[in-house]
């Protein structure tokens, strides 16, 4: 059945997930098989080998394509495997323009892997779209955006940059991991590829690692599907199934993540030990107008996501004590699960970015990143309050 005209919540539960034809199983089965019997050489019943295609992965791919408003979704064994497949579309000598703030692992792949293979990169603060004009060259083939960025929660204007990039024949990829398709629709705004670490909000339960790339052009989809199969960084059936199970509740989880995060952000902003709170749903957010245009609105309020970046009014030692004291928040890398996590980007997720570059984009030693979960917000607030008291005692 075609669910394209259905609402987001309905697509999340039904797109690619019709009851199974043979048994009527309501939930897509885990087709835990590497290969498929062929009635005659070269003839098959739709699947040959699970790297190439697998019914459980197909269901997830179809669902994610529907949620992002694309024509094809491709899933990968991690977010970085999805990134790798996209960069593998380029040739040696090609140039990439990228936002200067992004997940440290993405930067590491660009800088330590792809540069050795002859790609070149220019990074800039693309909050000002005119910065793109200064960075683009005749060799530029890809514009890589992350918005909101990890960890500074900077926004880039996808629609404005897509127009500029397309005028130069440059493909636009948007890492939509932080916002999710529930809050932000990059393809509708003009991007060519929406990218995800499905490890995060899409899976939503911190129990599996995965990635996805969704496109709105069939020819680009075919090129990416070729790389997916040729390079082979695909997720197994069980990981695909866990992700598909998670994505069914994406809309309701995101609303609670946003509601809890806004409450915590407002409270932290008043806290005497806090220097700055960055949260796209706050009235004080620097790019408040762009947030209102680009992120989903609910009841006149911008849904700012579940991530908060907080700069303590102290030193590294205060941040260390704070992070070691929290209990309702778990000190861990990653984000986007139902449980609240907290981390220190300079030491943890963004350690692969050189210190001077980290400082230039604002990742200081007193900066902590919160992934606000869907526990009761009062327990989360009490935990942070207690940990701040101990850290500054
Ligand atoms: O971890 P993996 O599934 O390979 O996804 C990489 C990735 C891509 N894009 C963004 C925006 C990300 O945040 C990540 C992974 N990030 C973390 C593990 C983290 O703690 O920030």
Nearest to 81 by CA among 182, 245, 230: 230
pLDDT of residue 126: 98
pLDDT of residue 246: 98
Domain ranges of the chain: 3-247, 251-391
Fold for the domain defined by 251-391: 3.90.1150
Residue 239 CB less than 6 A away from ligand 1: no
Burial of 108 (0-12, 13-18, 19+ CB in 10 A): middle
Burial per residue of 301-337, b for 16 or more beta-carbon CB atoms within 10 angstroms, e otherwise: ebbbbbbbbbbbebeeebbebbbebbebbbbeebbbb
* Whether the domain at 3-247 and the domain at 251-391 fall into the same CATH topology: no
Nearest to 302 by CA among 320, 316, 330, 283: 283
> Cβ contacts of residue 130 below 8 Å, gap of 6+?
none
**What 3-state DSSP class applies to 312?**
strand
pLDDT of residue 296: 98
CB 211 within 8 A of CB 79: yes
- Residues with pLDDT less than 70, the chain: none
For the stretch 259-272, pLDDT in tens is: 999 999 999 999 99
81 C-alpha to ligand 1 centroid (Å):
11
pLDDT of residue 2: 80
Nearest to 279 by CA among 374, 204, 377, 369: 369
Residue 150 CB less than 6 A away from ligand 1: yes
pLDDT of residue 53: 98
Residue 58 CB less than 6 A away from ligand 1: no
What is the DSSP annotation of 230-296? HH--PPPHHHHHHHHHHHTTHHHHHHHHHHHHHHHHHHHHT-TTEEEEE-TTSTT-TTHHHHHHHS-
48 C-alpha to ligand 1 centroid (Å):
31
The catalytic residue positions are 51, 103, 175, 200
| Torsion over CA: 234, 82, 88, 158 (sign) | positive
Fold for the domain defined by 3-247: 3.40.640
> Cβ contacts of residue 230 below 8 Å, gap of 6+?
none
How many Cα neighbours within 13 Å face the side chain of 267?
Answer: 15
């Amino acid at each position: 059945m075609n669910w394209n005209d259905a609402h987001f919540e309905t697509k999340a539960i039904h797109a690619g997930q019709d009851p199974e034809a043979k048994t009527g199983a309501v939930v897509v089965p885990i087709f835990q098989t590497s290969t498929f019997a062929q009635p005659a050489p070269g003839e098959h019943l739709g699947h040959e080998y699970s790297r190439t295609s697998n019914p459980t992965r197909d269901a997830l791919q179809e669902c994610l394509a529907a949620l992002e408003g694309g024509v094809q979704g491709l899933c990968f064994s991690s977010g970085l495997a999805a990134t790798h497949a996209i960069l593998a579309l380029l040739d040696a000598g090609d140039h990439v323009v990228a936002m200067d703030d992004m997940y440290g692992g993405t930067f590491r792949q660009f800088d330590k892997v792809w540069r050795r293979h002859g790609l070149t990169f220019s990074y800039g603060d693309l909050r000002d779209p005119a910065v793109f004009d200064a960075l683009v060259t005749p060799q530029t083939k890809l514009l890589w955006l992350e918005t909101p960025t990890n960890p500074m929660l900077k926004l880039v204007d996808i629609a404005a940059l897509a127009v500029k990039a397309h005028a130069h024949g440059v493909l636009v990829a948007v890492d939509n991991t932080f916002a999710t398709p529930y809050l932000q629709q990059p393809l509708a705004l003009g991007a060519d590829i929406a990218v995800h670490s499905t490890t995060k909000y899409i899976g939503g339960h911190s129990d599996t690692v995965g990635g996805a790339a969704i496109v709105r052009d069939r020819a680009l989809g075919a090129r990416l599907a070729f790389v997916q199969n040729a390079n082979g960084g695909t997720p197994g059936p069980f990981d695909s199934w866990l992700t598909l199970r998670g994505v069914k509740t994406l809309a309701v989880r995101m609303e609670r993540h946003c509601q809890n995060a806004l409450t915590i952000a407002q409270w932290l902003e008043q806290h005497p030990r806090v220097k700055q709170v960055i949260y796209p749903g706050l009235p004080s957010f620097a790019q408040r107008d762009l947030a209102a245009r680009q992120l989903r609105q609910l009841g006149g309020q911008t849904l700012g996501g579940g991530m908060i970046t907080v700069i303590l009014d102290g030193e590294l030692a205060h941040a260390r004590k704070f992070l070691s004291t929290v209990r309702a928040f778990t000190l861990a890398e990653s984000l986007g699960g139902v449980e609240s996590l907290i981390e220190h980007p300079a030491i943890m997720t963004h350690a692969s970015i050189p210190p001077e570059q980290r400082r230039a984009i604002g990742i200081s030693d007193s900066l902590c990143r919160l992934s606000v979960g869907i526990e009761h917000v009062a327990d989360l607030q009490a935990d942070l309050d207690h940990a701040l008291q101990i850290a500054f005692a």
